[in-house]
Amino acid sequence: MPKKTLLKQYRLCKHCLERHISTGKSSRPCYICRGLMDNLGAIANNILAAVKGFEFDTFLIGATLSTQLYEREDTMRARLKIRGRANIKHYLTRELGIRLARLVGKKVEYGKPDITITLTVDKENNVDLAVISRPIAFAGVYIKKSRGLPQRQDKCANCGGKGCNSCNYSGLSGFNSVEGIIAKELVRITRGQTPKFTWIGSEDQSSLVLGSGRPFYVRVFNPKNRKLKNKTIKGNGAKAMLKMINDIPVIQPRFIVKTKIHIRCENALTKKTLKKLNTLSGSKVSFENKSKRGIKRIHSVRVRQLDSNQFILTIVADGGLMIKQLVGGEEYMKPNISEILGAKCECIMFDILNVQFQ
């Protein structure tokens, strides 16, 4: 396309002219961008100010432009049969990426950038900026040496878990749980929001978690600080040790749990009766409820009688075995302790002695 032919029919700025014939001079006001490209320097400076609080090594710039801008470009291209040239969105984001890389000394990354800057340009060429940081993930274990501390926390009633001022952007109703204690500190050190936990099993509020601790994973969204070292978090009798990982496993790993269960039976028990529980060692326990059905293996059992009606049962079993249902026989669990002993049994409490990945 000769330059004279193009300029005779359309007035284009230097940038829009170069995109279509590879050389040109300014001829404002531009038919396509209406002055947007003349603001590249100012937009780049606004981006620089917006990313100032973020730690990052790589970035990506995206844009949403008004339909009117695309329509003007498409109309001109169709009329003059111009093909194979970069469109205005591609040119805009590329040029801004080059400028930002020069200003901050960071690299453009198309796969998994640390931060993504999104521009929204309306029909009046007003530009809104949004900066989103890629989530960071942690693997951790926690030990709980105080009874009465729940594992999980309810969502914030104000934001429903999305994160707001009232919940300190944690998405939680408070910080009086293992989840809350860890989440509060992670929000502080990452300057991020709404930590999302993947638990490797669970326990009662009254349970202790001992041994090497219960593993878990957590992802923190939109962190401003991402260059972090291993972290230990303590509070209310809980202690969590975390380290950064590339990402959380898609499939939850299998694990086995050693559990000490305090059980009370409605009938008096003899040593001979309690020996029946040894049949659980090596057995497969099947269960079924409204949400799922499955089979868990009990690898070993050990029984210690406390008095005529109470005893301690220590088991090593597949993770996810429902302890209270195993004792009482609910949820169609077979075999179960009440059935084996021929009398109704109740789980008074249980403690997690160790959790180990298989």
What's the rounded Cα separation, in Å, for the pair 280 and 260? 15
Among this protein's residues, is 204 annotated catalytic? yes
- Per DSSP bridges, beta strands 238-245 and 255-265 are unpaired
3-state DSSP assignment of residue 57: coil
In 3D space, the residue among 358, 171, 332 whose CA is nearest the CA of residue 251 turns out to be: 358
Residue 29: cis peptide before it, omega within 30 degrees of 0: yes
Token pair 């300190």 in the structure block, residue: 168
104 membership: H or E segment, kind and range: helix 88-104
Q: Is 11 left (phi over 0), alpha (psi -120 to 50) or beta?
A: beta
Q: What is the DSSP string of 231-298?
A: EEEEETTEEEEEEEES---SSPPPEEEEEEEEEEESS---HHHHGGGGGGTT-EEEEE-SS-EEEEEE
What's the rounded Cα separation, in Å, for the pair 338 and 210? 27
3-state DSSP assignment of residue 98: helix
Catalytic residue chosen out of the listed positions 57, 128, 154, 204: 204
Catalytic residues: 204
